[in-house]
Structure 1
């Protein structure tokens, strides 16, 4: 294993210990980050809602149709009524 490219040396102090953030500093940083957030307008929110609902309804229709089709196919194959 002489050709190994593994890191050698003491790994106990790989990173210096960082001081913990106080709750007040954390709160100020959270508020500062939330001020950077760009919230959608009412028109954008309405458009996004409609797009999501249409997508969900279309996907429900596709999954329902596939479920119905595969269910009928399974009953046709495994009916057991003896029809030939």
Structure 2
């Protein structure tokens, strides 16, 4: 049985890893200890980041641009529809009286 499967069994408590132990003690650490732990966690997360390839980056950019264009179109249509509706309800096409 693997360690993950063993630690997830209901009759046996899970072992705390070193990361869990450090995170659990963050209340006992001093101000600078908590800052150092935070910086270590940031560095650990940044090491997990995968930079996309050029092809992936172009694909992601095109997807975002197409989505933004579609949303601009929807917003424009709704704006024109609501503007026409307000003009129809309040009679906005006539001269403004003071």
Regarding TM over 0.5, the answer is yes
> 2:73 aligned with 1:47, yes or no?
no
| Structure 1 alignment gaps of length 5 or more | 1-14
State how far apart, in whole Å, the 2-side matches of 1:67 and 1:74 are.
10
State how far apart, in whole Å, the 2-side matches of 1:18 and 1:39 are.
36
Aligned residues: 67
1:41-69 superposed Cα distances (whole Å, 9 cap, x missing partner):
11111111110110011011011101101
1:71 aligned residue:
83
CA RMSD of aligned residues (A): 2.9
Helix, strand or coil: the match of 1:38?
A: coil
| Structure 2 alignment gaps of length 5 or more | 1-24
* Bigger proportion of residues as helix: 2
- The verdict on how the C-alpha distance between 1:74 and 1:23 changes in structure 2, with shifts beyond 3 A counting, is closer
2:6 aligned residue:
none
The counterpart of 2:29, out of the listed 19, 42, 47, is: 19
Highest CA radius of gyration, 1 or 2? 1
